Amino acid sequence: MEGMGFMSGNKNQVVMLTGASSGIGKATAQWLMERGFRVYGTSRRAPGIREGQPAHSSPSGGFIEMIPLDVSSEESVENAVRTVIEREGRIDVLINNAGMGIAGSIEDTSIQEAEKQFDINFFGCLRMIRHVLPVMRRQGWGKIIFISSVAGMISIPYQSMYSASKYALEALVEALRHEVAPFGIKACLVEPGDTRTEFTSSRIIAEAAGKDSPYDNRFRKSLARMEHDEQNGVPPEKVARVIHGMILKKNPPIRRAVGFGYKTILLLKKLLPSWLVEKLVGMLYA
Ligand SMILES: NC(=O)c1ccc[n+]([C@@H]2O[C@H](COP(=O)([O-])OP(=O)(O)OC[C@H]3O[C@@H](n4cnc5c(N)ncnc54)[C@H](OP(=O)(O)O)[C@@H]3O)[C@@H](O)[C@H]2O)c1
């Protein structure tokens, strides 16, 4: 059976969204609420709907309710998914957006720092889908959108662990699409480029990346470049619009980069010889 939520178009679809307290997640929650979606936004900072937090709502009938959720905690994920199911009985769309970045040279990044990066960006998504897939399989429908990055297709020096966590997501989704299609579930990736959010101020710098590091000079220059590009990037609403577009598509493509410039860069990566791509990335970030 095709689901009620999907058959009724935009209106009344139940969306669970991670990382909704700022940046892309916050803008997406707002964007979808204004278009009639029932949005359960989550994040560590979320106050929690049981504490009497009034829902934001729009004339179109949409709303945003915030639920506390730490994607690095299995228990927290389980509780948040249960809360949505208790309220709505279904989840039509899951948007795996929560994420952060750790920067530093590979040599300067400790195993613990690398694990933390993967724990949020990759295992966080895995925890979410392990709890939401059984719900969607029972429904016989559902859509899961993963927020990857252009860095999930082109690895960036001094952001290697971040890039690797997003490459891992890309691999997960390539396989996931095949596995869940027979159950009526669609999965896809959205790949933003530089976007003006709290991502820049929340970035963790590898502890060993101080003045004593042999990489210090080049790392600082690269970091300044990434911070500048992010802070002069597109507003998060631009990503929200692309995410909404993927929700509307009956059969979303596997991945969609945000903006003409980044689509072109990713096309060039396919077309150009790899030595040239490497040279161009080096000119920008190494
Ligand atoms: N900004 C960019 O240039 C850019 C480019 C490409 C891709 N992206 C991706 O876009 C996504 C959203 O990032 P953003 O740019 O919007 O950054 P942001 O403004 O820093 O938002 C990150 C969100 O993730 C949440 N979060 C972080 N750790 C969490 C955890 N352990 N559990 C639950 N929630 C957690 C944060 O909420 P709490 O702190 O309240 O938990 C916040 O709501 C990320 O996956 C990022 O990798 C960003």
Catalytic machinery residues: 21, 148, 162, 166
Parent domain of 251: 4-285
Give the total number of structural domains in the chain.
1
217-266 pLDDT, tens per residue? 999 999 999 999 999 999 999 999 999 999 999 999 999 999 999 999 99
pTM, whole model, 2 decimals?
0.95
Cβ atoms of 7 and 220 within 8 Å: the answer is no
Task: Determine the atom of ligand 1 nearest the C-alpha atom of 72.
Answer: 31
Q: State percent of the chain over pLDDT 90.
A: 87
**With a 6 A CB cut-off, is 66 part of the ligand 1 pocket?**
no
User: CB burial class (10 A; 0-12, 13-18, 19+) of residue 274?
Assistant: exposed
The H-or-E segment that residue 95 falls in is strand 93-96
Token reading at 262: 């980044």
Q: What is the DSSP string of 152-165?
A: GTS--TT-HHHHHH
Token reading at 48: 């929690």
72-126 pLDDT, tens per residue? 999 999 999 999 999 999 999 999 999 999 999 999 999 999 999 999 999 999 9
Q: What is the DSSP string of 111-140?
A: HHHHHHHHHHHTHHHHHHHHHHHHHHHHHT
**With a 6 A CB cut-off, is 43 part of the ligand 1 pocket?**
yes
**With a 6 A CB cut-off, is 233 part of the ligand 1 pocket?**
yes
Indicate which CATH number applies to the domain containing 266.
3.40.50.720
Q: Look up tokens 């959205």; give the residue.
A: 190
**With a 6 A CB cut-off, is 23 part of the ligand 1 pocket?**
yes
For residue 256, give every residue at least 6 positions away whose Cβ sits within 8 Å of its Cβ, in sequence order, or none.
Answer: 188, 189, 190, 191, 242, 245, 246
Task: Determine the atom of ligand 1 nearest the C-alpha atom of 162.
Answer: 47
